[in-house]
């Protein structure tokens, strides 16, 4: 039986969202479903603003960053009146299933919506932060690691030339996934993570010890500290000043910022996005509802939407690796 399947992208955009939209459209076409795209996140639901999606719209979409459906914050959607209106609009538009590509906040919205909308709701994890429980990775995460890593590779060139200390702030909201992986893969010398942050004093002491040990061992060389955003009180300027006060000068702060959200997705994100998009459509018409699709150990899984905000630990082997391979290597 034919169905109308709606998709929207919400929250911070992430590379691979378009690849996921493409997979959804193709999978719908295969199943005889009619794919609809709501624009500007949940705002589109409130304003009944949607477009028809066809195979034509998917050509050369897999490699594009951003999202052709646009994204936006939506205050109105946090209130009951807004959510009721969205549910009514979905019914009016004859939508059987709504696919929401987004992160934590987007899934909270989806859960809220499910109180009033009785069609299917399926979440698809799309965020560079990887802070969604129930899936090994989120769409956009892999590309953001590579973008941050490549930027730090470039910073290393100039840090080496001047034997300088660089502080590089990496995104991740309140999670350290991106910072940890960017640090490991760029051979950074130190990383500050929300999950392992003790105190500014303890971290400062560690950094300074490492720098001194490294200089004793190798002479003056570059030293790169990756700092997850939202961890250090008052951010990089405060950390720079604290290091200066401790006699460590020639420190340069750099916030990578929004470049981490853009760009053509790397293959891992394209593959994840394609897998999850197709899997989400395969659930349309089944009893799966109010779930997020994810991938665990290379297999597609479903998780209740209200479990997706559970705490998600860093890979402990990676944390240990960081300690072994990197920042404590001079501690003998």
**Binding region for its own copies (CB under 8 A) out of 44-52, 64-72, 195-203, 204-212:** 64-72
Q: In what order do the strands lie in the sheet with 251-255?
A: 190-192, 223-228, 165-170, 251-255
Q: Which stretch binds its own copies (CB under 8 A): 66-74, 106-114, 241-249, 283-291?
A: 66-74
Q: Please, what is the minimum distance in Å from the beta carbon of residue 37 to its own copies?
A: 13
Residues touching its own copies: how many (CB under 8 A)? 83
Q: At its nearest, how many Å lie between its own copies and the CB of residue 126?
A: 11
Work out how close the CB of 118 gets to its own copies at its nearest, in angstroms, rounded to a whole number: 28
Give yes or no for a contact between 272 and 19, defined as CB atoms under 8 angstroms apart.
no
Can you read off the two tokens belonging to residue 13?
């955009």
Q: Hey, is 312 helix, strand or coil? A: coil
Residues 98-127 that bind its own copies (CB under 8 A): none
Question: Tokens at residue 217, please?
Answer: 């061992």
Which one of the listed residues 13, 104, 129, 146 is annotated catalytic? 129
Which uninterrupted H or E stretch holds 190? strand 190-192
251 sits near its own copies (criterion: CB under 8 A): no
User: Looking only at residues 254 through 313 of this chain, which bind its own copies when binding is defined by CB under 8 A?
Assistant: 254-259, 261-264, 266-268, 270-271, 274-275, 278, 297-300
Interface of this chain with its own copies, residues 162 to 201, rule: CB under 8 A: 162-163, 166, 181-182, 184-187
Q: Which residue has the tokens 């001079």?
A: 330
**Would you say 64 or 138 has its CB closer to its own copies?**
64
How far, in Å, CA of 94 to CA of 271, rounded? Answer: 31
Tokens 């290597």 -> residue: 329
Which of 142, 190, 223, 232 forms a contact with its own copies (CB under 8 A)? Answer: 142
Give the one residue of 3, 7, 8, 13 binding its own copies; rule: CB under 8 A: 13
Q: Which of 51, 133, 204, 221 binds its own copies (CB under 8 A)?
A: 221
Are 194 and 175 spatial neighbours (Cβ–Cβ below 8 Å)?
A: yes
User: Of residues 72, 81, 91, 202, which one binds its own copies by CB under 8 A?
Assistant: 72
Cβ(266)–Cβ(62) below 8 Å: no
What's the rounded Cα separation, in Å, for the pair 245 and 238?
10
CB of 192 to its own copies, least distance (A): 19
Q: Using CB under 8 A, which of 6, 155, 225, 228 touches its own copies? A: 155
Tokens 């899936």 map to which residue?
135
Judged by beta carbon, residue 89 or residue 274, the one nearer its own copies is 274
- Whether 189 sits among the annotated catalytic residues: the reply is no
- Are the C-beta atoms of 189 and 159 separated by less than 8 Å? no
Binding of residue 23 to its own copies (CB under 8 A) = yes
The answer to whether 292 touches 302, Cβ cutoff 8 Å, is yes
Residue 311: its H or E element: none
Residue 93 vs 264, nearer CB to its own copies: 264
**Residue 147 interacting with its own copies (CB under 8 A):** yes
Residue 24 Cβ vs its own copies, minimum distance, rounded to whole Å? 10
CA distances from residue 16 to 263, 267, 323 in whole angstroms, order as listed: 9, 9, 31
- When binding is defined by CB under 8 A, the residue of 3, 33, 50, 70 that contacts its own copies is 70
In the range 28-47, which residues lie near its own copies by CB under 8 A? 29-30
Q: With contact defined as beta carbons under 8 Å apart, do 202 and 190 qualify?
A: no
Query: What is the closest distance, in whole angstroms, from the C-beta atom of residue 162 to its own copies in the complex?
Result: 6
Distance between the two ends of the chain, CA-based, in angstroms?
A: 68
User: How many residues are present in the chain?
Assistant: 332
Of 67 and 114, CB closest to its own copies: 67
Q: Tell me, what DSSP letter sits at residue 324?
A: I
CA dihedral 79, 84, 85, 87 (to 10 degrees): 130
Mind telling me the catalytic residues?
129
């Amino acid at each position: 039986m034919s169905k109308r399947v709606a998709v929207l992208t919400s929250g911070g955009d992430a590379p691979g969202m378009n690849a996921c939209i493409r997979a959804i459209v193709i999978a719908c076409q295969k199943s005889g479903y009619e794919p609809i795209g709501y624009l500007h996140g949940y705002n589109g639901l409130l304003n009944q603003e949607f477009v028809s999606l066809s195979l034509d719209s998917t050509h050369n979409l897999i490699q594009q960053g951003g999202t052709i459906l646009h994204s936006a914050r939506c205050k109105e959607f946090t209130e009951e009146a807004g959510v009721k209106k969205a549910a009514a609009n979905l019914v009016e538009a004859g939508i059987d299933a709504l696919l929401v590509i987004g992160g934590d906040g987007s899934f909270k919205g989806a859960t809220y919506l499910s109180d009033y909308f009785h069609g299917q709701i399926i979440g698809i994890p799309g965020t560079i932060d990887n802070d969604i429980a129930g899936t090994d990775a989120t769409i956009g995460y892999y590309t953001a690691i590579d973008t941050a890593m490549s930027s730090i590779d470039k910073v290393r060139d100039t840090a080496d030339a001047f034997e300088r200390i660089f502080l590089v702030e990496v995104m991740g909201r309140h999670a350290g996934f991106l910072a940890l992986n960017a640090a490991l893969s760029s051979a950074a010398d130190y990383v500050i993570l929300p999950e392992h942050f003790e105190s500014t004093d303890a971290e400062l002491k560690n950094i300074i010890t490492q720098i001194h040990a490294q200089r004793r061992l190798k002479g003056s060389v570059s030293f790169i500290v990756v700092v997850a955003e939202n961890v250090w009180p008052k951010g990089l300027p405060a950390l720079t000043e604290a290091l200066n006060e401790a006699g460590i000068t020639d420190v340069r702060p750099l916030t990578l910022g929004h470049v981490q959200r853009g760009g053509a997705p790397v293959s891992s994100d394209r593959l994840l996005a394609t897998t999850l998009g197709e899997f989400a459509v395969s659930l349309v018409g089944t009893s799966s509802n109010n779930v997020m699709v994810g991938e665990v150990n290379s297999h597609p899984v479903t998780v209740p939407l209200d479990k997706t905000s559970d705490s998600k630990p860093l890979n402990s082997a990676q944390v240990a690796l960081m300690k072994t391979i990197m920042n404590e290597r001079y501690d003998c």
